[in-house]
Amino acid sequence: MNLIDAYRYLAALERHRHFGRAADACHITQPALSNALRALESNLGVAIVRRSRQFEGFTPEGQEVLAVAHRILREQETLVQDLASSAGQPRGRLVIGTVPTALPIAARFAAWLVRHHPGIAPQLRSMASQDIESGLEDLSLDIGLGFAERVQGRAGVQLTPQYEEHHHLLWRSAEEAGRQPAVSVSTSERHAASAGPVALAVGPSIPWAQAVERPLCLLTPEMHHRALLERVFAGLGLQVRPVLETDSVLALVVAVQAGPLAAVMPGALVATVAPAPGLHVSPLTQPDLRTPIAFMTSARVRPSRALEAALALAGRADWLQHARAYSGALAVHH
């Protein structure tokens, strides 16, 4: 039995929660994955996986084995990177977890990392805040991008501040909702769009109390971004009943583009939205909600070469300027 492979299969099963999908992720057949895990159970003398006709989770002993598996896989990856890297040329995988609302910035960061260090292979995962925190704890993630307030002062977690997110209302007027926006973009328009972070014109600010008068689509209640908004609504004595809820930021954007709905979005998401007839965006004020976003890493283990390079980039002035240009307070065009 190859113990490293068995641990890798176990980690894949934890992530995908399905035998078939875990096998596909490991590029093996489902019977091969099941047989390897049964062999691991036989070798350790304990049941690791709860089974019926489908995956039902891990036994308490399985959770212990899984924790060891993550540590061993992390140490192996660090060793492989040490052996494969040379001075100034790190090589290896870097697993990045990001909250969905910061995904555009995380994707830009991954692209910058590859540009400066071609030997690094980032793996970007969109995850809930609690899953990022768990991933850092069990070492299944190398680095996370999310809400600094959730882990501020927590032992074993190091923060690298990135930007302060502002919030905006995005909506499309009812009279324009049925129109199809043009999809062709001229060369001059492409050049203009590439010269600045936001192609969608940002209008004057409006108060939160006015925003809730519109038919809102919001992220689902378990998302931390939704909790931030609920805190603002409660502080204003407002009860909000969204007409649509989703756990997908892409669905949020598309729903507003289809109209006539509205959504509260951070600047990082607004900066990805293409202009369309009747599509408007305004900064939200009264109160001014500012959300610190930071990279998070575990302080309990030695960083890999790829993680060292990522943290160095995360602290560079040119990267921080770039990240802030595509998030936070967007330029207002009256």
Range of the domain at 70: 1-84
User: Distance between CA 311 and CA 297 in Å, rounded?
Assistant: 9
Domain containing residue 56: CATH number: 1.10.10.10
Give residue-wise pLDDT tens across range 264-297. Answer: 999 999 988 888 888 899 999 999 999 999 999 9
On whether both 46 and 182 belong to a single domain, the answer is: no
Radius of gyration in angstroms for the set of CA atoms belonging to the chain, rounded to a whole number: 22
pLDDT of residue 78: 82
Around Cβ 146, how many Cβ atoms within 10 Å? 27
Two structure tokens written together for 271: 């900066």
Total count of domains within the chain: 3
Given a cut of 80, whether residue 49 has pLDDT beyond it is yes
Please state whether the peptide bond connecting residue 31 to the residue before it is cis, i.e. omega within 30 degrees of 0.
no
User: Does residue 52 sit in helix, strand or coil?
Assistant: coil
pTM for this entry: 0.80
pLDDT of residue 199: 57
Place of tokens 């899953």: 131
Burial letters 297-309, b for 16+ CB under 10 A, else e? bbeebebbbbbeb
Give residue-wise pLDDT tens across range 63-72. Answer: 889 888 888 8
Residue 127's closest CA among 166, 107, 148, 97?
A: 97
Contact by Cβ (8 Å): 85, 23: no
Two structure tokens written together for 186: 């001229």
Residue 112's closest CA among 327, 307, 313, 324?
A: 313
On whether both 12 and 75 belong to a single domain, the answer is: yes
Which of 27, 55, 84 is the endpoint of a domain? Answer: 84
**Residue 178 pLDDT level (bands cut at 50, 70, 90):** low
Domain containing residue 146: CATH number: 3.40.190.10
On whether both 279 and 171 belong to a single domain, the answer is: yes
Residue 318's closest CA among 112, 120, 121?
A: 112
Q: How many CA atoms lie within 13 A of 217 on its CB side?
A: 22
Two structure tokens written together for 52: 């019926």
**Residue 55 pLDDT level (bands cut at 50, 70, 90):** confident
Residue 97's closest CA among 154, 136, 137?
A: 136
Does some domain include residue 334?
no
Highest average pLDDT, of 50-54, 139-143, 190-194, comes from 139-143
Does some domain include residue 331?
no
Query: Which of 9-23, 130-144, 291-305 has the least mean pLDDT?
Result: 9-23
Does some domain include residue 181?
yes
Q: Give pairs for 276-279: CB < 8 Å, separation 24+.
A: 276/172, 276/176, 276/181, 277/176, 277/179, 277/181, 278/172, 278/173, 278/175, 278/176, 278/177, 278/179, 279/170, 279/171, 279/172, 279/176, 279/200
Backbone angles phi, psi at 22, to 5 degrees: -65, -40
Does some domain include residue 237?
yes
On whether both 134 and 93 belong to a single domain, the answer is: yes
| Greater model confidence, 186 or 143 | 143
pLDDT of residue 177: 52
Pairing status of strand 217-219 against strand 291-298: unpaired
Given a cut of 70, whether residue 186 has pLDDT beyond it is no
Does some domain include residue 18?
yes
Domain containing residue 193: CATH number: 3.40.190.290
pLDDT of residue 329: 76
On whether both 310 and 264 belong to a single domain, the answer is: no
Does some domain include residue 156?
yes
pLDDT of residue 75: 84
User: Distance between CA 329 and CA 102 in Å, rounded?
Assistant: 14
| Greater model confidence, 193 or 52 | 52
On whether both 101 and 183 belong to a single domain, the answer is: no
On whether both 244 and 187 belong to a single domain, the answer is: yes
Does some domain include residue 333?
no
pLDDT of residue 195: 42
On whether both 230 and 308 belong to a single domain, the answer is: no
Helices (H), the chain: 3-16, 19-25, 30-44, 60-84, 103-116, 129-138, 148-151, 187-195, 208-211, 224-235, 249-258, 267-270, 305-314, 317-325
Backbone angles phi, psi at 193, to 5 degrees: -65, -35
Mean pLDDT of 163-183: 72
On whether both 204 and 283 belong to a single domain, the answer is: yes
Two structure tokens written together for 280: 């408007």
Does some domain include residue 265?
yes
DSSP count for the chain of H helices, then E strands:
14, 13
On whether both 48 and 107 belong to a single domain, the answer is: no
Which of 50, 67, 84 is the endpoint of a domain? Answer: 84
On whether both 61 and 203 belong to a single domain, the answer is: no
**Residue 1 pLDDT level (bands cut at 50, 70, 90):** low
Which of 29, 63, 84 is the endpoint of a domain? Answer: 84
DSSP string, 238-264: -----SEEES-HHHHHHHHHHSS-EEE
On whether both 179 and 141 belong to a single domain, the answer is: no
